[in-house]
Chain A
Amino acid sequence: MRLLNLFKIAFKAIVLNKMRTLLTMLGIIIGVASVIAMLAIGEGSKESIRTNISSMGSNIITIRPASASSSGVRASADEMQTLTLKDYEAVKDQATFLSYATPLVTGKGQVINGSNNWPSSIYGVNPDYLKIKVVDLQSGSMFTDAEVKTASKVALIGQTVVDNVFPDGQDPIGQMIRFNNIPFKVIGVLEVKGENTFGQDQDDVVIAPYTTVQKRILAIDYINQIMASAVSEDDAPNAVTEVSEIMRIQHQISNPNKDDFSVQSMEELISTFSSTSEMLTVLLVAVASISLLIGGIGIMNIMYVSVKERTKEIGLRMAVGGKGSDILMQFLIEAILISVSGGALGVLLGLTSTVFIEKFLNWPTSVAMYSIVISFAVCAVTGIFFGWYPARKASALDPITALRYE
């Protein structure tokens, strides 16, 4: 009852000073709107990184050789020859959190078809590779396990390779191409995937059985990588632990700090890249928060002036029986009303500007519910915090002095 009355008084004071209230709110409106827009931009870029990386296969786990220091001489990870087919077989046989696995050997070279040639990379894998990378075929078919066993000279090629070595638009299926002078029969074309997050063209690739690549092109017996997919995205961390343990047994390593391999899930990659954009978000929000703070100081300023201006009114209210706490609440409610309604308008402005940013600047945005809740809460707290001092001052006035104040 008493609060309701005080609320009415405060509301009236706000309505009677529309212009001033609006100008006071402006600081809060801009502050809240920028916090929401900045967070939306930050969240948006984080999300776009996530979907981009996920498109490369969200539950992929890669096992690479890592430089080991135990042998004294430290070699670059690329030159390590410590990963073998035995490791692959052990991982494939023992891991329970993995659905598919393939050895991976890579090489660079020239793809040649008649008078056309194109520099590309060759990936030597087994048939599970497509399932791990979540790639479909445009046409043709994947090679079989039998073709892997016999090291058949068959290959699948990406769209970029097709465009460059078959420029006349002829169907590549069944045609012969040469990679580093080794002839391959094209048996399939991969679906178009475009660039990945790192700007790498995922269609500029030749895929062949790993046995063929190992023997005919690279002449090696080790492998560069083991690529696998976890049963589910949630199981990826478990899979990483499990694979690490299997690999340690394989390589007879007791101290995890001396691993000569590294196991990485996409999840880790995502978090690495998200942290950059998170940093940016923090900076943007920090700047936006400063404007919210300035908005709060604006409220304090106006409330302070308002208390001064209405000293006589305060004196009268006290004389007719208003207690200090009534006066305090009245001004506090007024400050909170200004900041909260400013906050509400700020949320609206923030949401609108987010839509504009998305539409006209083509930046990915994503409005997080928490950003609205937080900035709204911050507004209420701002109102209390910055309204407190002037309200306190009003409530502590001596009614006699206040009544005589001119």
Chain B
Amino acid sequence: MSKEIIKIEDITRDFTMGAERVRALRGISFTINEGEFVTIMGSSGSGKSTLLNILGCLDQPTSGLYEIDGIKVKNLSRNELATIRNEKIGFIFQSYNLLARTSALENVELPLIYNSKISTEERRERAIKALKMVGLEDRMDHTPSQLSGGQQQRVAIARSLVNNPVMILADEATGNLDTRTAYEIMSIFQDLNEQGITIAFVTHEEDIATFSSRTIVLKDGNIIQDYKNENVQSAEEELAKLPKENH
């Protein structure tokens, strides 16, 4: 049995909106093992964003247990959570969130700046390596405005890889991209997953889920489905099937 990266038990998360209590998560349990590629699906309001925030240590559950890489997250301070985010998690956002007027290389270096154990030279080396993994080694000094949407998201992926996280958390990472580019990005994710990187991918697009090995479906704060995907599609093959664009 492989190592448990994520272990959550009976997690709830309540918000108080004025006088009303909103129960965003109503007792969720699951584990994610090392090397899994999990998509978390659900319509808006299903609680998937809340779950993602908790998984990403940006938020704390109201009750329940959350362990990431064997560390209990409950009752950690803001600074301790920041350290976990810095060392264990790679974030990818729908809107890329790259720093404007800053080169791709510097964008990728960003998480390592907040890790004082890593020297300037090592930071540079690792950022270059991460950019090579997403195939952008020849665009390292381009700023986001000089890159296409797909390239920007690839920079963001490189940024999420640079700190050697135990898990990559992607939030609608293909939401802003056309189908072709989205499939390109998914094929990168699949490559990374094959190299053993654990991925949790939040999306509401059905076809994206077919590229993952497991799908968790949320509705109204509960898990309604959690199944292994027996027939994982190859994003590369799907990409080849798409009608060729006229250049």
**Residues of A near any B CB (own CB < 8 A):** 1-2, 5, 9, 12, 16, 312-313, 315-326, 399-400, 403
Given the known inter-chain contacts A16-B101, A399-B58, A400-B53, please indicate yes or no for A318 contacting B82, CB distance below 8 A: yes
**In the complex, B147 has a CB within 8 A of chain A:** no
B99 and A316 contacting across the interface, CB-CB below 8 Å: yes
B86 (CB) vs chain A CBs: closest residue: A321
A5, A9, A320, A400 interface centre (most CB from chain B within 10 Å): A320
B78's contact among A1, A2, A9, A324, by CB below 8 Å, is which?
A: A324
Residues on the B chain within 8 Å of A16, using CB: 101
A320 and B93 contacting across the interface, CB-CB below 8 Å: no
**Residues of B near any A CB (own CB < 8 A):** 53, 56, 58-59, 78-79, 82-83, 85-87, 91, 93, 97, 99, 101-102, 110-111, 113-116, 119, 159, 163
B56 to chain A, nearest CB (A): 7
Given the known inter-chain contacts A9-B113, A400-B53, please indicate yes or no for A320 contacting B159, CB distance below 8 A: yes
Residues on the B chain within 8 Å of A9, using CB: 113
A18 to chain B, nearest CB (A): 12
B88 to chain A, nearest CB (A): 9
Measured in the bound complex, the distance between the Cα atoms of B106 and A16 in whole Å is 14
B246 to chain A, nearest CB (A): 35
Measured in the bound complex, the distance between the Cα atoms of B159 and A400 in whole Å is 19
B170 to chain A, nearest CB (A): 13
A256 to chain B, nearest CB (A): 69
Measured in the bound complex, the distance between the Cα atoms of B86 and A326 in whole Å is 13
B53 (CB) vs chain A CBs: closest residue: A400
Given the known inter-chain contacts A312-B97, A313-B99, A325-B79, please indicate yes or no for A320 contacting B59, CB distance below 8 A: no
Main secondary structure of the interface of A (DSSP, over half): helix
Residues on the A chain within 8 Å of B79, using CB: 323-325
Measured in the bound complex, the distance between the Cα atoms of B111 and A18 in whole Å is 26
Residues on the A chain within 8 Å of B99, using CB: 313, 316
Residues on the A chain within 8 Å of B102, using CB: 12
Measured in the bound complex, the distance between the Cα atoms of B150 and A57 in whole Å is 86
B113 and A323 contacting across the interface, CB-CB below 8 Å: no
Measured in the bound complex, the distance between the Cα atoms of B107 and A317 in whole Å is 11
Measured in the bound complex, the distance between the Cα atoms of B83 and A242 in whole Å is 75
Residues on the B chain within 8 Å of A12, using CB: 102
Measured in the bound complex, the distance between the Cα atoms of B116 and A322 in whole Å is 11
B110 and A317 contacting across the interface, CB-CB below 8 Å: yes
Q: List 15 A-B contacts (CB under 8 A).
A: A1-B119, A316-B97, A319-B91, A320-B85, A320-B111, A320-B163, A321-B85, A321-B86, A322-B114, A323-B83, A323-B114, A399-B58, A400-B58, A403-B58, A403-B93
A320 and B58 contacting across the interface, CB-CB below 8 Å: no
Residues on the B chain within 8 Å of A312, using CB: 97
Residues on the A chain within 8 Å of B85, using CB: 318-321
Residues on the A chain within 8 Å of B116, using CB: 1-2
Residues on the B chain within 8 Å of A313, using CB: 99
B114 and A321 contacting across the interface, CB-CB below 8 Å: yes
B86 and A400 contacting across the interface, CB-CB below 8 Å: no
Residues on the A chain within 8 Å of B163, using CB: 320-321
Residues on the A chain within 8 Å of B111, using CB: 320-321
Measured in the bound complex, the distance between the Cα atoms of B239 and A43 in whole Å is 79
Excluding A320-B111, A399-B58, 17 further A-B contacts by CB distance (< 8 Å) are A1-B119, A9-B113, A12-B102, A315-B97, A316-B97, A317-B110, A319-B56, A319-B91, A320-B91, A321-B82, A321-B85, A321-B86, A323-B83, A323-B114, A324-B82, A326-B114, A400-B59
B86 and A320 contacting across the interface, CB-CB below 8 Å: yes
A1 (CB) vs chain B CBs: closest residue: B116
A17 (CB) vs chain B CBs: closest residue: B101
Residues on the A chain within 8 Å of B91, using CB: 319-320
Measured in the bound complex, the distance between the Cα atoms of B87 and A319 in whole Å is 11
B83's contact among A316, A319, A321, A403, by CB below 8 Å, is which?
A: A321
Closest 9 CB pairs of A and B: A321-B86, A320-B111, A321-B114, A323-B82, A2-B116, A316-B97, A5-B113, A321-B85, A322-B114
A5, A315, A316 interface centre (most CB from chain B within 10 Å): A316
Residues on the B chain within 8 Å of A2, using CB: 114, 116
A403 and B114 contacting across the interface, CB-CB below 8 Å: no
Measured in the bound complex, the distance between the Cα atoms of B57 and A319 in whole Å is 9
Residues on the B chain within 8 Å of A324, using CB: 78-79, 82
